[in-house]
Amino acid sequence: MRRDFVTVDVFTDRRFGGNPLAVVLDGTGLTAEQMQAVAAEFNLSETTFVLPPRDPAHTAEVRIFTPRAELPFAGHPNVGTAFAVARCGTVHGRAVGDSPVFEEKAGLVPLEIMRDGASVLGAWLTAPQPLRRGEEVAAETVAAACSLAPGDIATDRHAPCVAGCGTFFIIAELAGGDALAKAAPRPDVFAAKFPVDGATGILLYRRDGTGGVDIRARMFAPLHGVPEDPATGSANVALAGLLASLAPQADLSLRLRIAQGIEMGRPSLLEASAEKRRGAVVETRIGGRCVAVMAGTIDI
């Protein structure tokens, strides 16, 4: 059966930037094995399948696949899928509106559509789960997995650690210099050392403060078939929550502009936020602009 799909570049305002995403607009009746095969065929960091919601109060059920595995939640697939269905106007017979809600393995994902008049520009998401901080990971392990020296990993603010808001990553701050540029994933180390506390991908970041950007980041996940990701919403929303949790203020509204994908030639800009109240992070959000690229059909 033929299924319609679109591709979208996410977290960018220009084609061939950001993180590409394939959206199969009607995944009804497909098995998980078929969805995985389609994701492997597209061979993008993620492919989504839009299904009728289980609860009619919600907009759709969305399933997310990397070339090798299904994910419970991911950032750029939600932002890009919301953009794609908002441009269609309806999904499975229901209006998308400005505040769609997606059902996913990690829970409900509320979204807010960015518009300029009649034009759909992008979307914001609220993470489906509160921030959870897991195990710490030795700086030497992270450095080896990313072709760096242990001294390239900064530990004065926090040790490398597992954190997530629905999908979990190892998050490590870099000490500066050219460490971010020279980092490269070593699949042999990833295979030998990970997962740790459910996390297999590493988000490296350094503080920036130039050109209107607060953070520069890179993310490696070779065990999921993604050697490097141009823009990782689920990792960066966790980063925003982690940094808010580490701040000394009991009440804080943190806003971050995060650049990713620069080294890959696919520059991306993610806007993240975290709300902290009485010492606890109560909400994390991430969003950005999107650009439609291709449309077609696939026989499944």
- Residues serving a catalytic function are 46
Q: How far apart are CA 296 and CA 131, in angstroms?
A: 38
Query: 280, 29, 3, 267: which is closest to 131 by C-alpha?
Result: 280
Q: How far apart are CA 249 and CA 237, in angstroms?
A: 19
Q: How far apart are CA 167 and CA 239, in angstroms?
A: 12
Helix then strand then coil, in percent of the chain rounded to 5, is 20, 45, 35
Q: How far apart are CA 166 and CA 272, in angstroms?
A: 15
In sequence order, what are the residues at sequence separation of 6 or more whose Cβ sits closer than 8 angstroms to the Cβ of residue 10?
18, 19, 20, 21, 76, 77, 79, 80, 83, 122, 231, 233, 268, 288, 290
Three-state SS at 156: coil
- Beta carbons within 10 angstroms of residue 246's beta carbon: 10
- Backbone φ and ψ for 179, nearest 5 degrees, come out as -60, -40
Query: 79, 25, 24, 16: which is closest to 293 by C-alpha?
Result: 16
Greatest C-alpha distance within the chain = 56
